[in-house]
């Protein structure tokens, strides 16, 4: 039985691109996301290349996560790669202007969702053992602070530390863990963050060369298909035209 790739947040962005990349190589796929119609379209598109199982899922709901995992069809139960991609950023305004609910949503998805799915799939990953991979999608925001990052950056710092600690606990199981931390990549990320402001998205990516979702999917595929004795702890990847922001100083006048 072939090992499956389980991808959260597969309806757009990195997750959508990862589904295509792994399907090209013939990996059976379990694709989850909140938008059923997009999942169905993706399943129809990729089924000519590989077996595809879909499940509508809000990763912040631990009961729903466990139900999806418990009800996987037999041919999809051997999960050898988990891509924890589901996540979002909201409220780019300064912290003092942000609605508390937006902070809670980011924590529920980026932190609770990540641990919900990981916990549910650990038994399968450990059963697969050598060569199994957990790829947690972090962000450069988890390492490098900037104005408006507040809780989003904090959740991605959690992803990094959780990945490192999980790797320690899994010593001896053969399961690899990687924190994949992208910088600027052109996806629906900014549209979600600004609640549909297309002009803001265009302004962010205009006049430069950001990464694409396919660029990140290629990194995921590389990490997951390394020889079983190798683990990449963290990949921080940026476009050449993006660097760290200089420190800001408040001045009189």
Q: Which sequence positions are flagged as catalytic?
A: 152
Exposed / middle / buried, residue 230 (Cβ in 10 Å: 0-12, 13-18, 19+): exposed
- C-alpha 159/C-alpha 156 separation (Å) is 5
* Spatial contact of 215 and 199, defined as CB atoms under 8 Å apart: no
Across the beta sheet with 234-237, what order do the strands follow? 52-56, 29-33, 4-7, 79-84, 133-137, 176-182, 234-237
**What is the separation of C-alpha 227 from the centre of its chain, rounded to a whole number of angstroms?**
22
Backbone angles phi, psi at 63, to 5 degrees: -65, -45
């Amino acid at each position: 039985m072939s090992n499956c790739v389980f991808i959260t947040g597969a309806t757009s962005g990195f997750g959508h691109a990862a589904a295509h990349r792994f399907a090209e190589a013939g990996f059976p796929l379990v694709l989850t996301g909140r938008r059923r119609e997009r999942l169905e379209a993706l399943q129809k598109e990729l089924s000519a290349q590989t077996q595809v199982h879909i499940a509508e899922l809000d990763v912040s709901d631990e009961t729903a996560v466990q139900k999806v995992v418990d009800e996987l069809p037999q041919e999809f139960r051997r999960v050898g790669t988990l891509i924890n991609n589901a996540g979002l950023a909201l409220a780019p305004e300064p912290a003092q202007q942000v609605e508390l609910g937006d902070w809670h949503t980011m924590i529920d998805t980026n932190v609770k969702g990540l641990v919900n799915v990981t916990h549910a799939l650990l038994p399968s990953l450990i059963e697969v053992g050598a060569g199994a991979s957990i790829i947690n999608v972090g962000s450069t925001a988890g390492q490098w602070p900037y104005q408006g990052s507040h809780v989003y950056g904090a959740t991605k710092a959690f992803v990094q530390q959780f990945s490192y600690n999980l790797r320690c606990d899994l010593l001896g199981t053969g399961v690899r863990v990687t924190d994949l931390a992208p910088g600027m990549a052109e996806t629906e990320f900014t549209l979600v963050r600004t609640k549909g402001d297309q002009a803001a998205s265009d302004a962010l990516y205009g006049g430069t060369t950001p990464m694409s979702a396919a660029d990140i999917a290629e990194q995921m595929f590389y990490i997951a298909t390394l020889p079983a004795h190798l683990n990449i702890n963290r990949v921080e990847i940026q476009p050449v035209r993006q660097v760290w922001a200089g420190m800001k100083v408040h001045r009189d006048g």
